[in-house]
């Protein structure tokens, strides 16, 4: 099945004035399409966390969003330092965010688990020095 809408967003590194713009844009799009508010909230939260990870850890990257009749697919990727131990990174409370980031309220170590909790399918691929790829699927019904 081909997608109804396809979008690509640049996610700039370390720029918090633009962080969340991609997810906010997708939120607006889904609202215009009349998608169920609970699904909109789950999608925006999952995408915002993925976007923030790219801003904070990934040295910038991209997000590709495809909206189908029955689902939303989000692919967020960067060419940053990658994740050494994915299992550890997934653990709630674990974070490698520096103090400057924690001072802003980030770095609680809940980003990845927030993505998982709000997605129907969540795949995380990463290797040290080979960047990180996050695949999120959320069903509309």
Q: Does 20 participate in binding another protein (rule CB under 8 A)?
A: yes
Cβ 8 to another protein, closest distance in Å? 20
Is residue 72 within 8 Å of residue 34, measured between CB atoms?
no
Is residue 107 within 8 Å of residue 100, measured between CB atoms?
no
Q: Does 81 participate in binding another protein (rule CB under 8 A)?
A: no
Give the Cα separation of 124 and 33 in Å (integer). 28
Q: Does 114 participate in binding another protein (rule CB under 8 A)?
A: yes
Q: Does 96 participate in binding another protein (rule CB under 8 A)?
A: no
Nearer to another protein, 24 or 96 (CB): 24
Q: Does 37 participate in binding another protein (rule CB under 8 A)?
A: yes
Is residue 115 within 8 Å of residue 50, measured between CB atoms?
yes
Q: Choose which of 3, 12, 24, 59 interacts with another protein (CB under 8 A).
A: 24
- The strand order across the sheet containing 132-139 reads 5-11, 61-67, 71-78, 132-139, 121-126
Task: Note the residues at the interface with another protein (CB under 8 A).
Answer: 16-17, 19-20, 23-24, 27, 37, 41, 44-45, 48-49, 104-106, 108-111, 114, 117
């Amino acid at each position: 099945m081909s997608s109804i809408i396809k979008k690509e967003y640049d996610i700039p590194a370390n720029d918090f004035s633009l962080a969340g713009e991609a997810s906010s844009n997708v939120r607006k799009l889904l609202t215009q399409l009349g998608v169920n508010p609970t699904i909109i909230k789950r999608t925006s939260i999952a995408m915002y966390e993925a976007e923030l990870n790219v801003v904070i850890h990934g040295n910038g990257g991209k997000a590709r969003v495809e909206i189908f009749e029955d689902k939303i697919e989000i692919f967020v990727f960067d060419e940053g330092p990658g994740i050494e131990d994915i299992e550890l990174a997934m653990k709630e409370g674990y974070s490698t965010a520096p103090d400057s980031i924690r001072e802003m309220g980030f770095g609680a170590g809940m980003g990845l688990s927030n993505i998982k909790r709000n997605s129907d399918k969540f795949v995380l691929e990463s290797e040290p020095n080979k960047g990180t790829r996050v695949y999120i699927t959320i069903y509309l019904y």
